Amino acid sequence: MQNRNSFKPVATNLPVLLPIAETAKRNALLERHEGTFRLNLTRSHLIGLIGIFLVLGGTAEAATPAGMIGPFEAIFKWMGFLLWGPEGTLKGFSLNLIISFFSMLVGTVAGVTLGLMQVSLLAPVRSGSWFVTQFFRNSPWLVLLFTIMFLFPYEIDLGFVVIPVPDWIKAVIGFSLPVMANISEVVRGAVRSLPSGQWESAESLAFNRRQTMWMIILPQCVKRMIPPWINWYCILAMATPLCSIMGVEEAVSFTTQALNAEGDRPELIPVFYSFLMIIFFVYTYPIARWSIRLEKKFAVKT
């Protein structure tokens, strides 16, 4: 593990990558330090997305047969349905958000526990938690999602009461697994990144390991963990449409339904999906920027 962490990426010698070599190297170092890759959203992405949306929309407008509603009008008509579901059922895009909140909650609690196990003094605990972390960190999210969807019953019969397990709850469980593994790495990285002098001075003041961890090490780690934690939330929020494949009634499923209702007109398809991309971007972008700002603020202080 030590070797893996001490490996330093070098600037590329591929000619095609040379213009971004320095930036790429800096980002790679930062990502390795945090144990996570980062989302670099900029305003130009939004301008690009709106540009694509307008160009596609304009083309579709021109291709609209006489007597049919145009793409912008169609989106306006379906907007409420896509964002909140029919009559405030909290489906569509709001279900994406609900799934992301709960997955993050479960994933964080489990991930912090797993991460602390990764810095345990007991070798079996350490290697066991390392294996679990690596397993879920390196599994494709979609595969995990399918596995949970098919492994979990649609209801749990406790004998006296039957608890239904709706699809979106299964999706929450499926998403929280990779989140757990990545948060575990974030915790391990933060604990490892503290200078060893902090441990030594705590030891020489006769703090036991537990006190050292909870009073001295972890309070300093929280600051370091918040930016990558927010970053992982953004990645998760953008991954939630994956569960549309399992029939969860979130934004992408509803977009497909709306397009069906409009008679599957081919010119509408790209317009609707690019509109969805803008919604996701508008939600994620401020959060991603916030994490970068926090990071700069913390970097100055310590």
Partner 1 sequence: MNNVATDTNWTPDQPMVSIREVHKSFGDLEVLKGVSMDIMKGECICIIGPSGSGKSTLIRCVNALNDIQSGSILVEGQEVNDPELDKLELRKKVGMVFQQYNLFPHKSALENIMMAPVNVLKQDEKEVEERARMLIKKVRLEGKENSYPGELSGGQQQRVAIARSLAMTPDVMLFDEVTAALDPETVKEVLVTIQDLAEEGMTCILVTHEMGFAREVANHIYFTDRGVIVEDGSPANFFDDAKDPRTKEFLSQIL
Quick one: 147 or 201, whose CB is closer to partner 1?
A: 201
Q: What are the residues binding partner 1 (CB under 8 A)?
A: 195, 197-198, 200-208, 211, 215-216, 219-220, 301-302
Contacts of 23-28 with C-beta under 8 Å, sequence gap 24+, read: none
The CB-of-291 to partner 1 minimum distance in angstroms stands at 20
Instruction: Look at residues 136, 97, 155, 144 and name the one whose alpha carbon lies nearest to residue 246.
Output: 144
88: left (phi over 0), alpha (psi -120 to 50) or beta: left
C-alpha 103/C-alpha 110 separation (Å) is 10
The CB-of-210 to partner 1 minimum distance in angstroms stands at 11
The CB-of-133 to partner 1 minimum distance in angstroms stands at 27
Quick one: 138 or 208, whose CB is closer to partner 1?
A: 208
Q: Is the dihedral of CA 255, 286, 24, 52 positive or negative?
A: positive
Quick one: 173 or 187, whose CB is closer to partner 1?
A: 187
Quick one: 2 or 302, whose CB is closer to partner 1?
A: 302
The CB-of-185 to partner 1 minimum distance in angstroms stands at 23
Spell out a b/e string for 265-294, using b for 16 or more CB atoms within 10 Å of the CB, else e. bebbbbbbebbbeebbbebbbeebeebbee
The CB-of-232 to partner 1 minimum distance in angstroms stands at 23
C-alpha 294/C-alpha 286 separation (Å) is 12
Quick one: 249 or 295, whose CB is closer to partner 1?
A: 295
Q: What are phi and psi of 60, to 5 degrees?
A: -65, -40
C-alpha 194/C-alpha 146 separation (Å) is 38
Quick one: 15 or 195, whose CB is closer to partner 1?
A: 195
Evaluate whether 228 touches 179 at the Cβ level (below 8 Å): no
The CB-of-205 to partner 1 minimum distance in angstroms stands at 4
The CB-of-207 to partner 1 minimum distance in angstroms stands at 6
Instruction: Look at residues 84, 85, 60, 86 and name the one whose alpha carbon lies nearest to residue 73.
Output: 60
Quick one: 289 or 297, whose CB is closer to partner 1?
A: 297
CB atoms within 10 A of CB 144: 20
